[in-house]
Every structure is written in structure tokens, then in C-alpha cells.
Structure 1
């Protein structure tokens, strides 16, 4: 089978390169949010059960970074983008039910801004503007999840000049390192938009979305494809999970 056409890349049925972990991305677990990667709590529980039962076990995100070697069986890396408050309040207890640890890509400027708000101000925010504070993000990490970087302001990086794009990336990496005291080994591109020359420091793994073609992490470490469980299409999930598992085997 040849390489997928560009028009086909956005189809969530296209998973990872053969032999490499499936990577799923979510934004919210919140029944009030209408977004293609936002699931209700019941849907998220069902999604976890379907994917773990069909594709394979969850990866420990603490093991994901430069030099990562995939396990010799299908597996799944769960990731969240942006750093919303419901990731801690709603998603974390459900992840714990299944023993899953996740990688959370934080928009660091939004977490800084959340720190400056009073609790009544935060309570008045709609879910899509309600971000974690750093203290809450650190509580999330304390449950065994991993914090990582997703720029400072969540811009479309290809629309920025090279120096500005690089500063968005490096400043967010630096901020996460300051808060966690740990080296930051991964990054995720806002909107899955990757500049022609990715402004990511050498030695990291960088994650896109369904806009990236499937490829070996070893050969394209700055263009790792992620896919998703489409919200509102629960009836597709079993078939998607079966296909993702079959794709892991490739031509074997």
C-alpha cells in the first residue's frame, strides 16, 4: 500500500507507523464542551475500555522521550493538549480507574494566567477557557502523569517568524522545566501545524495531530502522528481500535 494522500491524513482511522505506539490526543473530558476531541465522562470511560481492550496497554509517559524504543506489542500513549481544569477534575479519576498515565501538553501562558485569577473568577469561566493553575498541574503530575510543553500562547507556528516561533517553543519548555524540576523531553505543536523547519530543539520528540503522516519515531522524531476517538461517533470506536491494532503489524 502506498503513502496516504494528504486528503486522507485527517481520517482518525489512520493510526501509527507499523511497530510504533498508537498516540491518542484529547482536549476535554467534559459533557458541556462541543469539540471533536472532547468526550463526556461516560464516553471517555468507554473509550479507555475499548482502546485498552482492543489495541493494547497504555504506555508510561515517563518512558517517552529521545531514544525511546517501542515495546514488541501494540500499545497506546494517551495525551492531553492545552491544560484544562477538567483534565484534573474529571479525566484524572477516570484514568486512575484504568491505571492509565497521560502526557499533558501545557500552554504555559494560560497556566500562568490562571494563577493570577481568584477562585470566583475561575468559577465563572466557560470550560474552554478554564485552565489549570500550576499548583493543579503539579497535582496532576503527582498522580503519575507527565507535564510537557505546548508553547506559551498557542499560536499557529508556521505563521510566525523563525525566531518568534523558536521562542514560543523554548520558553514553554523552560517554564515547564522550572515548575517540575525535570528535563522536558517532548513537545506538541498547536493545531498540529508544523513549520517547514520545526523550531524544536534537538533531542526532543515532537507530536503533531492527524495532519501528520504515520512515520517511525526514529526517522521523524519531530513529526509524530496522533489520532483521536471522534466525539459523537461512539459506534465507530470498536472498528477504529481494531484497525489501529492491525496497522501496528503492517506487512508482518
Structure 2
């Protein structure tokens, strides 16, 4: 068994959500599969963590696989400009099959490997960065040392048509904090982004896809979840917008994922 297969099998044993280990003794929760895309007429949103030749993770792909994935996506979906998010929300959806790319955590490999591929193929993205980790080297317990983009690199992304938005401050699941701490984490991240990258939108991607626990937390205007979220219209669920992913260790599944995602516009799935 390859390390990647072993990793996949371990995830399946731990949790119904890839990459989210279940706590000891906790019940296994079933979430919508990656084939579940968007609500009818709303863009499908993909999320990645890494585009890197060596990292193995359920949302990490090699540069070659990322290039191949964008080629396949481009045959079935319009690349959605991240700046179009407000207008799509105002119009209640998108008339054509469209796809928005997002990256969580702001790892340097996205700048080094994903950026040139996206630009060559005509895609732009939203990068959700945790402000306390910008420019830092994270000592990940499984993936080893991980470099996060610097403020200079994040600013360069915005100059090149991408958007940088919030992934919180400390990259801690908001449901593990009390109400005051969660609010402080959210507010600090937005304040720092506005100071360092003026004009950054008031958007948040929940760390680990986890919403804040019970309590009166003021959330940004748009909040992006993960594969854990159900497919609902953005204007119905602006604080839990579903994102899905291309299963990194199952590229043979990508075509069927895209076929299912297109059903939001083409119920017959003819393309």
C-alpha cells in the first residue's frame, strides 16, 4: 500500500470528512461527498491547500495534477473572477456553469506552483490567509515544515488579480473558542488585512470548516465553509457557503465530480 493510500484509509477510519480526524470516542459524522457541488445556478467553489510535488493531503495536488485539473475544469466551467462574487450574489446566481478557485492557509507553494499555472490557463483565485501565520514556518505534525506566504507575496497576488481574504487570526477552529475569543479572532484578522491589504473584502473561510459555537458572534458578510456544508444558495446561507474539492488521491473520480457539479445548470449531465 502506498503512503497516499494508507493516508486515505486512515482518514476513512477516523472520520467521514477527509482530513478532519475524529476525536477519540466521537461519533462519525457523514458529510456531503465532494460530488455534491453547488445549489442550482450558483458557482461551484473548489478549495485546495497545497499545489506541491511532495505534499500529500486530501486537498493537495501536484503541479502536474493541478494543471490537468484546470484543463478539465476549463472544458466544462467558466473560470470565475473572484471580483465577480458580489455581482453573482446580487444577481442570485450565475447563468452559466462557473467555478471559483480558493486556497486555504496561504501556503507558499500556492505562490510558487499554482500561480503560474492559473495565470497560464486564465484563472484567478481567492486565497484565505490566517494573519498570525503570514510569513511563518508552520511545524505541521504530519506534513512537516510548511511555509506561509509573506505579506509581500500576498500583496503581489492582489496586484495580479487575485483576492486575499480572512482565514481567521490563529487558524484555530472557532467552535473551540468561547464567544469573546472567537469574535476577537475574527475581528483582529479583518483589521490586520485592512491595514496590510487595503480593500480586502469582508469574507471569511472558517478554519477547519467549523462555525463558531453557540453565542452571538458577528460574522463577516460572506463566510465560506467546506465539504461539510450543504449546497444552499449564497443569499440563503451567506455564512455557510459550500465548497468542495477534487479528491487528490482519486483523479479517476474527477470527471464524475465535474459531471455532477454541472447538474446545477444541466440536469441531464450531458457534458
Q: TM-score, normalised by structure 1?
A: 0.86
Q: CA deviation at 1:127?
A: 7.0
**Contact 2:177-2:213 within 8 A present in 1 as well:** no
| Structure 1 unaligned residues grouped into runs of 5+ | 1-5, 115-125
Q: Supply the distance in 1 between the matched residues of 2:100 and 2:250 (Cα, whole angstroms).
A: 21
Per-residue displacement from partner, 1:18-59 (whole Å, max 9, x unpaired)?
A: 1111000001100111100000001000111111212x1111
Q: Does 1:72 align with 2:95?
A: yes
Q: Supply the distance in 2 between the matched residues of 1:145 and 1:16 (Cα, whole angstroms).
A: 22
Q: Does 1:130 align with 2:130?
A: no
Which residue in 2 is equivalent to 1:22? 44
Alignment of 1:1-252 (within 5 A): 9-54=31-76, 56-65=77-86, 67-69=89-91, 70-111=93-134, 113=136, 129-196=146-213, 199-201=217-219, 204-249=221-266
Q: Supply the distance in 2 between the matched residues of 1:128 and 1:106 (Cα, whole angstroms).
A: 17
Count of residue pairs the alignment pairs up: 235
CA-based RMSD: 2.3
Per-residue displacement from partner, 1:173-195 (whole Å, max 9, x unpaired)?
A: 11111111114231100000112
**Contact 2:174-2:210 within 8 A present in 1 as well:** yes
**Contact 1:12-1:229 within 8 A present in 2 as well:** yes
Cα distance change, pair 131–175 in 1 and its aligned pair in 2 (3 A): same
Q: Supply the distance in 1 between the matched residues of 2:54 and 2:104 (Cα, whole angstroms).
A: 17
Cα distance change, pair 128–219 in 1 and its aligned pair in 2 (3 A): farther
Q: CA deviation at 1:8?
A: 5.0
Q: Supply the distance in 1 between the matched residues of 2:52 and 2:152 (Cα, whole angstroms).
A: 21
Q: TM-score, normalised by structure 2?
A: 0.80
Q: CA deviation at 1:240?
A: 0.8
Which residue in 1 is equivalent to 2:25? none
**Contact 2:177-2:212 within 8 A present in 1 as well:** no
Q: Which has the higher contact order (CA 8 A, sep 6+)?
A: 1
Q: Supply the distance in 1 between the matched residues of 2:188 and 2:210 (Cα, whole angstroms).
A: 18
Q: Supply the distance in 2 between the matched residues of 1:154 and 1:78 (Cα, whole angstroms).
A: 20
**Contact 1:19-1:249 within 8 A present in 2 as well:** no
Cα distance change, pair 109–65 in 1 and its aligned pair in 2 (3 A): farther
Q: Supply the distance in 1 between the matched residues of 2:62 and 2:145 (Cα, whole angstroms).
A: 14
**Contact 2:50-2:60 within 8 A present in 1 as well:** yes
